[in-house]
Each structure stands twice: as structure tokens, then as C-alpha cells.
Amino acid sequence: MTILPFLLLIIGATLAYVINCRAATSLRAGGATLHSSPGYHGLFAGLAVIIPVMAITLLWMFLDGAVIERMILAGVPAQAFEGDGAGAVSLVLTEIQSLAGGRVFGEPEPWKQEAADRLNSLRSVSSILLIATIVIVSLAILSLRRARLSPEMRARQGSERLIHGLMVFCSVVAILTTIGIVSALLFETIKFLNKVPLTEFLFGLNWEPQIPIREDQVAASGAFGWIPVLIGTLVVTVVALTVAVPTGLFAAVYLNEFAHRRFRAAAKPLLEILAGVPTVVYGFFAILVIAPALRSFGANLGLDVAPNSALAAGVVMGVMLIPFITSFADDAISAVPQSLRDGALALGSTKGEAMTKVLFPAAIPGIMGGVLLAVSRAIGETMIVVMAAGLIARLTLNPLDSVTTVTVQIVTLLIGDTAFDNPKTLAAFALGMMLFLVTLCINILAIRIVHKYREAYD
């Protein structure tokens, strides 16, 4: 059923193309001099059909569910929602929908059955209306374009204007995405802050987002102070960077300065594999190999390592970030002008001294940009910590302990059923907002540094 409108759309556009193309060809055969070639006449007509009709169809499909829902709810007797609180509306709606789908449980009340029947009829009316609209609008545009067809018509300019508009639209989607992210996060965060004060969220030292099952439950109000979650994130990030930064930098120095050309050509793609492995695989690797290994290693030293320690998650995350740092540092070192390298070598420094005393310091800004991007990756990385780090927020700096991170909390709070009205789910959006803001700042800073540095030598 959803395919049919698009099929009609394509048929309409093709029809417009063929008819106008042929009409223009016959004009030309009749001796007229065309401004644009027949292909452009066809293309213009086809685009003139497909763009507005596509827009209508997509809008219709997005909106008709909500509109029909409203119409159904307006007809439901008011007493159906009484006393049930917030979830009642969606519950009634779901019941009506499953009735309409033919899944009848027990003996439904007559008004429900009636609403379900109305839902079905509204749905079929909506799809018939949609198809009628598509056909009428397509035919109208088609006949308009056919009537306007003349040898002087500037069809090429017309279609180029439409294509230009389409390309601008494509670019604007990027902005729409950002607006979507910001507004979605902002909207839910404001709802969250209506239930939990901002100061408690930003400075509270307890993170216990359990919601009460019963109203009178003891100690069930939940605590939403994000400091322990933030600390946990920082611990994991620091561990990851402790692994990734030295390893990545030394690897880059070696590849750039000492490695044989053939070794470099083989080693770089192999390192890139580490960056291409999906993070869920790293997460499983952490629980399968690294966490048990660290645990038994710790036991040998007499240390008590938690089974889901920050160390295991951090080390694996660090491994993931190695190629990231290496490629940034490699690019930055390569971008240092050859004259600096030549100068250092001509003054008698060894290759190593040229690297540590001249090239590396000159490349520091670019490397910093890469490290900052790695930090933002580490903070935003989700699957490794969801699988390998803990769930309970502890206020600790000990990497051997189990800690939780912002992303872990977002995922655990939102897995399972989600109603958009309790602080537990809204808290996830508030955390998401903080995550977005922090990574955005770091990214902008990093991209600035990288760009500025590139310009300095270009």
C-alpha cells in the first residue's frame, strides 16, 4: 500500500517527460527552432511533476497518522480516560489500533469497536484521497506544462533552476539534522528540568535514576546528580588516552621517520583495520578477553579488579583510538615543511633528534587537534562501555573499580519501554544534551586548531 503512491509518482513523472519530449521533437520536426533541446523540455516537465508531488506525498504520509489519531480520540467518550493518569490515552489508542488490526481479545466495549471501525475507514479514505491527490496534481501540472510548451520556452534554464533548488535542499538537510538534534534534546531536557532542578542535576553527587513502582515506596524518589557519571566518563577517557596517545604517537613517529617504505605501506592499512572494527566487537572483546585477563593479572599482584572495571573498557577503547591518533599525528608530521627537516639534518642532528627537537614540536598543534578529537570520541563512545563498564554510578577515581559513563546511562535508561513523561527517560535526554554540548565544544576547538595550523604552513 505504501508502494503504490510512489509508483504513481514515478509513472506521472515519466509520462510528463515522454509527452513533453515528444511534443518538442515534433515541433522541431515541424520546422521550428527550439531554444532548448527536447530532452530538456521533457526533464523540466518531469521535475515539475515529481518535486511538488513527492513533497505532498511525504508530508501526507508523515502527518496522516497523527491526524487520524486526533480524529479517533475526539470521538472517544471522555470517561474512558478518567482516573488512569498519563498513560491512559496511549493505552486506549493501542487497544483501538489492535482491534482495527483484527486482533480481538475478549469482548471489546462497543465504543472501542466503533472507534476501531472508524479508524479502518479513515485509513482507507486517507489512502484513497492521497492517491486521488497525486493523480490530480500530476495531471494538472502535466497539462499545464504541455500547454506552455513552445519553441521559445527556456526549458534548460527552468530545469537547471529546479535542480539547483534540489541541491540547496540537500545541503540544508545537514542544517535540519542539527536543528533536529538540538531541538529534540532541548525539548526533553526542559521537561526534565521541570521535574529536577538544574542545580541538583549539575552538582548532585548521587545518580540513582530508579523510578518508584508504587507511589509510597521507600527511598524511591531517585537522585539525578550527574557528577558521579561524569567522573566515571573521565576515568574511562583518561585510561583510554593513556593507552592510545603514547602508542599512537610513537607509532606515527616510527612510521614517518624510521620505517622502510614497504613496511609503512603494509602497516598503515593494517592499523586502519583497528579503526574499522565495529565498536560492538570491541565491547565483546573486552568482556571475552581483556577483562578476565586484567582480573587474573590483578589477582596475581594482590589487587582486586572489578569484573567490569573502568580499566578494561578504557584499555579496549584506547586500542580503538590508536589508529585515529596515528593517522592524525602522521599527517601533522608530514605537513611540516621539508626545509625544517633538511635544516635539522644539515646541522648534524640524528634522524631521531630531528624528529624530537624539530618536527614533532612543529607538528604539536596538529597533533593536539587529533588528540582532542580522540577525547571527544572517547567521551561519546557507547558500545564498549555499555558492554564492559558498570551500571552503578560510584564516586571514585580508581580505574580498577566499576564505574559508569554518560553513554552507558543514556542507553540503559532508554532500553526497554519508554514513556516520555517520567524523569528516568528524560534524564537520558539531559545527559545526551550535556554529551552533545561537551563534544561539540571539543570538536569545534579541535577543528579550529587543525585548520589554523594547516594555514600556517600552506
Partner 1 sequence: MENQPTTIELVQASLVRRKRKERVLKGLGLSAICFAFLMLATLVISLVASGHSAFVQTHVTFDVFVDPDEIQENRLPRGGFDDALAASLARHLPDVDMSDRATKKQVEKILSNGAQFHLRDLVVADPNLIGQTIELTVPVSDPYDQLNKGGIDPETPEENRRLNDQQIAMFDQLIAEDTISKPLNWGLLTNADSRFPELAGLKGALIGSAWALLVCFLISFPLGIGAAIYLEEFAPKNRFSNLIEVNINNLAAVPSVVFGLLALSVFIGWFGLPRSAPLVGGMTLALMTMPTIIIATRAALKSVPPSIREAALGLGASPQQTVFGHVLPLAMPGILTGTIIGLAQALGETAPLLLIGMNAFITSAPDGPLSSATALPTQIFIWADSPERGFASRTSAAILVLLGFLITMNALAIFLRSKFERKW
| Closest distance of CB 284 from partner 1, Å | 5
When asked if residue 289 is in the footprint of partner 1 (CB under 8 A), the reply is yes
Cβ proximity of 148 and 24 under 8 Å: no
- B/e letters for 213-252, b = 16+ CB within 10 Å, e = fewer, are eeeeeeeeebbbbbbbbbbbbbbbbbbbbebbbebbbebb
Whose cell is 593513556? That residue is 242
Indicate the residue among 29 and 174 with the shorter CB distance to partner 1: 174
When asked if residue 355 is in the footprint of partner 1 (CB under 8 A), the reply is yes
Among 215, 261, 348, 458, binds partner 1 (CB under 8 A): 348
Among 5, 228, 283, 370, binds partner 1 (CB under 8 A): 283
Indicate the residue among 134 and 406 with the shorter CB distance to partner 1: 406
Which of 358, 279, 361, 372 is closest to 328 using CA atoms?
A: 372
When asked if residue 270 is in the footprint of partner 1 (CB under 8 A), the reply is yes
Three-class DSSP category at 306: coil
The x, y and z cell numbers of residue 194, run together, are: 521541570
The x, y and z cell numbers of residue 367, run together, are: 597533533
When asked if residue 347 is in the footprint of partner 1 (CB under 8 A), the reply is no
When asked if residue 190 is in the footprint of partner 1 (CB under 8 A), the reply is no
Among 192, 224, 324, 429, binds partner 1 (CB under 8 A): 429
| Closest distance of CB 203 from partner 1, Å | 23
In sequence order, which residues have a C-beta less than 8 Å from that of residue 390 and are 6 or more positions away? 306, 308, 402, 403, 404, 408
Per CB under 8 A, which of residues 85..124 are in contact with partner 1? none
When asked if residue 381 is in the footprint of partner 1 (CB under 8 A), the reply is yes
When asked if residue 14 is in the footprint of partner 1 (CB under 8 A), the reply is no
| Closest distance of CB 40 from partner 1, Å | 10
In sequence order, which residues have a C-beta less than 8 Å from that of residue 45 and are 6 or more positions away? 16, 17, 19, 20, 141, 142, 145, 146
When asked if residue 62 is in the footprint of partner 1 (CB under 8 A), the reply is yes
Whose cell is 503504490? That residue is 4
Per CB under 8 A, which of residues 310..339 are in contact with partner 1? 319, 322-323
Where residue 167 falls (left for φ over 0; alpha for ψ -120 to 50; beta otherwise) is: alpha
Range in contact with partner 1 (rule: CB under 8 A) among 13-21, 102-110, 139-147, 252-260: 252-260
Per CB under 8 A, which of residues 122..181 are in contact with partner 1? 156, 160, 163-164, 166-175, 177-178, 180-181
When asked if residue 279 is in the footprint of partner 1 (CB under 8 A), the reply is yes
Residue type, 265: A
Among 138, 237, 327, 376, binds partner 1 (CB under 8 A): 376
Indicate the residue among 135 and 365 with the shorter CB distance to partner 1: 365
Three-class DSSP category at 224: strand
When asked if residue 369 is in the footprint of partner 1 (CB under 8 A), the reply is no
When asked if residue 7 is in the footprint of partner 1 (CB under 8 A), the reply is no
Burial of 152 (0-12, 13-18, 19+ CB in 10 A): exposed
